[in-house]
Amino acid sequence: MWAVDACAFSDEELMSVLKPVMKRKGLFRRRIVEEISARIELYWPYDIVSFRFSLSDGSSGSGKTAINLISAELAEEPRDIVLSMKPSYVARELKQKPLPQHVLAPEPMTRGLNIMEEIANLLEELAIPRERMHRALARAGRELLSPARRLLLPSLEAVHTMRQFSEAYAKIEAFMKELNIRLGLDVDAKLEAIEPVRQEGPFYFPSLVVKLSKPSGHERYVVLDLSGPKPELDIELTYLCMRGPLGDFLTDVLSK
């Protein structure tokens, strides 16, 4: 097992990252109403997964991404799996060393190839309904915007098609754009298929998990990435901690 060095930081640096995301109260939102009730350094296991991809224009290529082997397994929906990917961990120059003794490093709950295969299968499942909705919306759009229709009442069938498919299609397209980003592809790439090739790891990336508490008793977790030169807010893991399973996992970890 290999780990990435955790950066050193002061309490001032820690608070400079936390203050912008801490809950505030008052007319001008100046008074912070949360305090740090617990903090712990935690090393997350990641696999570096290589894959091949093909686009709708017939082009193809290869890439790599890093997958969090805890949050990906606890994901409740496909977007949560995608948010568990960090292509920046692949591109960054990282100094690796053996995992230090006596650090908190959870065992992987899954492996990267398993997760990438789930994504590959999902792409296959989405391909046909995605294309059908695209064609139906395009046809309805042309009908609604035709010169003849501008002089008459809009086609009820076209209006029904727009209402039925537009929201679902928008969600699929947003998911595909997010997936492109997490795979290290161009955001507007027309991804058609991916094929997992191999995995390397697990590699352990350091973070600082901070529990913030309100006087009312409400608690939440903020995760800071310590793998760079200074602490940075891990937006994705912090978001996933608010969705249930990952927050429950951290509660169990901190209670031991």
* Model pLDDT, residue 151: 46
Worst-scoring range by mean pLDDT, 85-89, 102-106, 152-156, 214-218?
152-156
* Model pLDDT, residue 147: 56
Short-list 166, 79, 71, 62, CA closest to 119 = 79
Q: How far apart are CA 180 and CA 121, in angstroms?
A: 16
Worst-scoring range by mean pLDDT, 15-29, 53-67, 110-124, 175-189?
15-29
* Model pLDDT, residue 22: 81
- pLDDT-derived band of residue 231, with 50, 70 and 90 as boundaries? very high
Short-list 38, 95, 67, CA closest to 183 = 67
Evaluate whether residue 124 is within a structural domain: no
Evaluate whether residue 163 is within a structural domain: no
Short-list 149, 128, 130, 118, CA closest to 51 = 118
Print burial letters for 109-146: b (CB count within 10 Å at least 16), e (below 16): ebbbbbbbbbbeebbeeeeeebeebeebbeebeebeee
**HSE-CB for 103 with a 13 A CA cutoff:** 21
Evaluate whether residue 153 is within a structural domain: no
Exposure of 222 by Cβ count < 10 A (0-12 exposed, 13-18 middle, 19+ buried)? buried
The total number of structural domains that make up the chain: 1
Residues spanned by the domain of 217: 2-119+192-255
* Model pLDDT, residue 144: 55
DSSP letters of 133-146? HHHHHHHHHHHHHS
Worst-scoring range by mean pLDDT, 124-138, 167-181, 184-198?
124-138
Worst-scoring range by mean pLDDT, 107-121, 164-178, 208-222?
164-178
Evaluate whether residue 239 is within a structural domain: yes
Task: Output the average pLDDT for the chain.
Answer: 84
Short-list 22, 50, 69, CA closest to 219 = 22
pLDDT of 159 > 80? The answer is: no
User: Does an H or E element contain 113, and which?
Assistant: helix 112-145
pLDDT of 28 > 90? The answer is: no
**Who wins on pLDDT, 125 or 148?**
125
Evaluate whether residue 165 is within a structural domain: no
Evaluate whether residue 99 is within a structural domain: yes
Q: At what angle do helices 112-145 and 156-182 cross, to 10 degrees?
A: 150
* Model pLDDT, residue 2: 83
Evaluate whether residue 164 is within a structural domain: no
